[in-house]
Amino acid sequence: VVYDGHTPLQTDPDPAAALAQARSVGGMVWVDLSQPTREQVHELAAVFGLEPLGLASALRTHQRSKLDRYGEHLFVVVQPAQYDDAAETVECHEVDVFVGDELFVAISPDGAVDLEQMRALLEEHPEVLQKGSYGVLWATLVFCVGVVVGNISLALFLAVLLNRKFGATTFF
């Protein structure tokens, strides 16, 4: 999807055409990949000029959360988690993100993170989209933390988890 500020535009499905369109309006192109093949990631890397080291990182799954700069792009690995109350377990997933001035690429290697939902929620907040790809990165980090905690605060979530697992009643 190409965004002109906060407005989504009709976008050519070809990534090169979408990038050209984003550049022509001074906007950004946003690409989501869920369970992509290596070839799909390589194709995007070629079109968007992603550095080989960043590409290699994106193709390696089960990474720790990190932030690196490869050439003109940031590469971020986020590990959203989902708490299973019945089993009292936390399952971690991974989202790999490339961010540049005119592009935002989010990859969910296992497809467990609903990137389309993330984009739909963000479109309800045009003030964030207006900030461009770096505003989208911020919102992605917020979304990924929200995957963990749902509608309760992170502090409450941690308190409940610590109490259940370790019988802790105080945390400081």
Residues 74-122: tens digit of each pLDDT: 998 888 777 778 888 877 888 899 999 999 999 988 887 788 888 888 8
Read off the amino acid at residue 148. Answer: V
> What letter would DSSP give residue 107?
E
CB burial of residue 16 (10 Å; 0-12, 13-18, 19+): middle
**59 pLDDT more than 60:** yes
Q: Where are the strands (E) in 57-159, listed by range? A: 66-70, 73-78, 81-84, 89-92, 95-100, 103-108
Which pLDDT belongs to residue 146?
Answer: 64
Radius of gyration over every alpha carbon of the chain, rounded to an integer in angstroms: 18
pTM of this prediction? 0.79
Q: Is 49 left (phi over 0), alpha (psi -120 to 50) or beta?
A: left
